[in-house]
Chain A
Amino acid sequence: MAESIRITTPFTEEDSRKLKAGDSVLITGTIISARDAAHKAMTEALARGEKLPVDWNNQIVYYLGPTPAKPGDPIGSCGPTTSGRMDAYTPTMLAQGIKGMVGKGSRAPEVVEAMKKYGVTYFAAVGGAAALIAKSVKSYTVLAYPELGPEAVAALEVVDFPAIVVIDSEGNNFYDIGQKPYKNFDINNI
């Protein structure tokens, strides 16, 4: 098994461009959570010409909707949510300087084009590995939109957060690459 690559934030375009689809990584530093409602609020703010409440330059965004934290814990179980729902907002957000995205599932072609343009990496966290991922989160601080509750934009301090590069900054897609060697099925042969 290949060794995991350790990456730390801030995550620059240079860092991002070194990673290849299929690389296993451990992220340490600060990642910022945002999902549906926050993406909508931020793209609307930008459309109105407003400044965003968070500086996204060289940041990693995490698409998540955690369970409530138990007393004494920084966060509840916090696996990735489906990234595709953010696709409509993503090119606009990448223009703000985001260099990494963590979620699960495929992305729209426009997103991949924007990723290539800005040198962005898309990571998958393992869908459903929510209790394991929670162990890597050391603190949770709401940065903006507190009224969105668990969907607020928040800073997560993480140590060795496990993820895998699915789409690299050149647009190579591990969802395709990873399946190919094991695909031995054609529905027309049934």
Chain B
Amino acid sequence: MRELDVKVITENVAEMCKEAAYYLPDDVYRGLKRGRETEKSPVGQIVLDQIIKNAEIAKAEDRPYCQDTGMTIVFVEIGQDLHIVGGYLEDAINAGIAKGYTEGYLRKSVVAEPLFNRKNTQNNTPGVIYTQIVPGDKLSITVAPKGFGSENKSGVKMLVPADGVKGVKKAVMEIILHASMNPCPPMVVGVGIGGTMDRAALLSKKALTRSIDQRNPMPEYAKLEEELLEMINQTGIGPQLGGTTSALAVNIEWGPTHIAGLPVAVTICCHAMRHAHRVL
């Protein structure tokens, strides 16, 4: 059985935290450039110029792209033939987050308890860690730091089957209109349809780890992604101060659900669509 030492996991997570904070993925960078070419608002053009320049500076100088370096979401796929040795997986991941955020001069934005004392943990741990057992003997890790300007504008709607496609469109657009310019658009919108309330929310997060250039493999969902994107870009929200580039993409993921339900979750991400991925 293949063995993997937790130290390797910690090192890689630490590097991925920095990588995600500094380097905007190429697909998002190209999306911003395309947005700049088609943006109609003169002020929107100024904003996009600044955002594109920001990405270039962050990358060239290893600086955090945004000062909110997020709460660290980590998706882990563990091959069932892999044996993790030397410690506990979640501890290793959290040690990596602490290392990455400290060494990388990233902002520590996590409080240990949400309601009564809200004390900062000073090292951005714990991450929000999702593990899944898969075939094989590899460990696949995606680190996706999530800023809260946009997270705070995300939401879930529990629809009924009769609401159908129209209901889904309305639910998504209500959340987008309510978010307006607050989540630092141009946004990338993750939509999860189906499952239970929590599964839909998770699907909407997973949707954001897919490239913005890649449409859902099922043609009906791919069409829905395009239609939603067009609607969002006609809201006028634009790149923060009005315009035509409100969102770069809508990514939908779906899952089986109950005969009586149609959950829809929307995770709004800002233009700081950060993630890093490695297979160990």
Contact = CB atoms under 8 A, between A and B. Distances in A.
> Chain A interface secondary structure, helix, strand, loop or mixed?
loop
Nearest to A189: B231
Interface string B29-43: 000000000001111
B181 interface: yes
Contacts of B69: 67
Interface in A115-131: 124, 126-131
A179 B43 contact: no
Contacts of B44: 178
Nearest to A127: B184
A151 B57 CA distance: 24
Give the size category of A's interface with B: 35 or more
Interface of B: 40-47, 50-51, 53-54, 57-58, 61, 63-69, 105-107, 147, 149, 166, 169-170, 173-174, 177, 180-182, 184, 231, 234-238, 240-244, 270-272
Given A65-B107, A105-B181, A185-B236, A132 B50 contact: yes
A134 B66 CA distance: 10
Given A76-B105, A179-B238, 18 more contacts: A67-B67, A77-B67, A81-B68, A82-B149, A105-B181, A106-B180, A106-B181, A129-B51, A129-B53, A130-B66, A164-B46, A175-B180, A178-B242, A181-B41, A182-B238, A183-B234, A185-B173, A190-B166
Interface of A: 1-2, 22, 24, 64-70, 76-79, 81-82, 104-106, 124, 126-135, 150, 162, 164, 166, 174-175, 177-185, 187, 190
Contacts of B43: 22, 24, 164, 174, 178
Contacts of B174: 187
A68 B53 CA distance: 21
A178 B57 CA distance: 27
Contact of B45 (A1, A78, A133, A150): A1
A133 B147 CA distance: 18
A130 B24 CA distance: 13
A130 B67 contact: yes
18 contacts: A24-B46, A66-B67, A70-B105, A76-B105, A77-B58, A104-B184, A105-B181, A105-B182, A126-B54, A128-B54, A128-B270, A131-B57, A131-B64, A164-B47, A174-B43, A175-B241, A187-B173, A190-B173
Interface centre among A2, A106, A126, A183 (most CB of B within 10 A): A126
